[in-house]
Amino acid sequence: MSTSISLKHINKLAIPALIAGISEPILSLTDAAVVGNVQTNPTESLAAIGIVTTFLSMLIWVLGQTRSAISSIISQHVGANSLDKVKDLPAQAIFLITSLSLVIIATTYPFASQIFTLYNASDLILDYSVDYYKIRVFGFPFTLFVIAVFGTFRGLQNTYYPMIIAIIGAGLNVILDFAFVYGIEGIILPMHIKGAAYASVIAQIIMAIISAYLLLTKTAIPLRITLPLNKQIGNFTIMILNLFVRTLALNITLYFATKYATGYGKNYIAAYTIAINLWFLGAFIIDGYASAGNILSGKLLGNKNYKALLKLSERLIKYGVALGVLIAILGGIFYYPIGHIFTQKPEVLKEFYKVFWIVLAMQPLCAIAFIFDGMFKGLGKMKDLRNLLLLSTIFVFLPVLFIADHFNLKLYGIFIAFTFWIIARGFPLIIKFRKQFSPLAQNN
């Protein structure tokens, strides 16, 4: 089976994936921008959004790895012309992961206050965090459902439908945010931070409904659960477990960053919230090309086209780094206006502007790490990703963070630690990839 790796074909997959990928950070950024500009306690509200977003991102990234596992397995079977063997896998995977999400809701909902106390939240910030989480968490199963469907579409080499779903969801969330947070005179009472949570949940439910409809009407993949379990469910489970451990390491990083930022004071956690959500946005933009790498690498591996696989990696690095540089340049041009989108508080803006340049400078480095991360997921090499992220977190991020905190670098230290962490995640993957596939490409 011939697989094109031309710029046109890569962009055909990457650009829709890019748009689809930024839906989740846009939900959080919209909440932050709208709530950060309310008249009542905007700094505390923004801080609460940041803390809850970090915790929810942890849950989503841990269980949302179904997207990568499903995409990897399906794309490899597409490449090997054996899709019929895994048609029933997505429904089984979706059932397992959404069932687990309900267990997580049941076990975290009663202890929301204790959970966010671990992030150093207290007083009004803690109250707002609990209020926001106890609504927003009910969108969790719907988010996981959408992520799994997106993984199925990706495996089928289709990123167009996920893009459509994401555009609708993000657009709806923006409209509902303004309506629910600020209210509509005579129709909807202002709901402050709770309104932002309701807006996100409704958007996630609508996205899930549209996802199910498109999967059932536009593909041959059923959502009906059948037995016995697919033969690939074991491979799927191993991938998920490896990615689960990997994502725990990722979230240890985010936990300590958020905990330290909160400990420095409300202005610091508010500034950190803006910076980290913009970092997430940049990451998900670049992730469009990582998704193309994920989709195409699995298919190329399935039909054993190692020469094209090597060429794909080279092209994706060029495109990703160029995109990272472009993001950094645009961020530099709009450096000061960007901050004012989220808050008008000078003390918060002061801390944000001190570190935003580090977020921008990281983008080309993030491109390398994320693109090879995507390719290794497509190749099914979850164990390598697990080991590398564990090592990067334990031996790079945490020591740098602790040293920076000792010297009272505050947000500088947090984002310097992120920078070294990204470098440690990216470059070893390049070495590992070329060491394995360069000899195979020469014999192809």
pLDDT at 32: 76
67 SS3 class: helix
User: Residue 407's Cα: distance from chain center in Å?
Assistant: 31
pLDDT digits (tens, 9 = 90+) for 394-407: 999 999 999 999 99
Residue whose C-alpha is closest to residue 31's, from 239, 226, 203: 203
Burial of residue 429, with CB atoms counted within 10 A of its CB: 0-12 exposed, 13-18 middle, 19 or more buried = buried
pLDDT at 44: 87
184 SS3 class: strand
pLDDT digits (tens, 9 = 90+) for 258-267: 999 999 998 9
Report how far residue 65's alpha carbon sits from residue 57's, in angstroms, rounded to the nearest whole number.
12
Phi, psi of 184 (to 5 degrees): -125, 115
Report how far residue 364's alpha carbon sits from residue 69's, in angstroms, rounded to the nearest whole number.
26
* pTM for this entry: 0.77
Q: What is the DSSP string of 284-295?
A: HHHHHHHHHHHH
Report how far residue 272's alpha carbon sits from residue 59's, in angstroms, rounded to the nearest whole number.
20
Burial of residue 237, with CB atoms counted within 10 A of its CB: 0-12 exposed, 13-18 middle, 19 or more buried = middle
pLDDT at 1: 47
Report how far residue 136's alpha carbon sits from residue 115's, in angstroms, rounded to the nearest whole number.
15
Residues 288-301: what's their mean pLDDT? 84
pLDDT digits (tens, 9 = 90+) for 105-140: 999 999 999 999 988 888 899 999 999 999 999 999
User: Do residues 371 and 227 make contact, with C-beta atoms less than 8 angstroms apart?
Assistant: no
pLDDT digits (tens, 9 = 90+) for 18-49: 887 776 677 667 777 788 777 788 888 888 88
pLDDT digits (tens, 9 = 90+) for 78-92: 888 888 998 999 999
Residue whose C-alpha is closest to residue 359's, from 250, 249, 438, 285: 285
Q: Who wins on pLDDT, 264 or 71? A: 264
Computed over every residue of the chain, the mean pLDDT equals: 88
Residue 444 has pLDDT above 90, yes or no: no
pLDDT digits (tens, 9 = 90+) for 231-247: 888 888 888 888 788 88
pLDDT at 61: 72
Q: How far is CA 327 from CA 37, 199, 309, 364, in A?
A: 25, 28, 27, 9
- What's the pLDDT band for 4 if we cut at 50, 70, 90? low
pLDDT digits (tens, 9 = 90+) for 184-238: 888 888 888 899 899 989 999 999 999 999 999 999 899 998 888 888 888 888 8
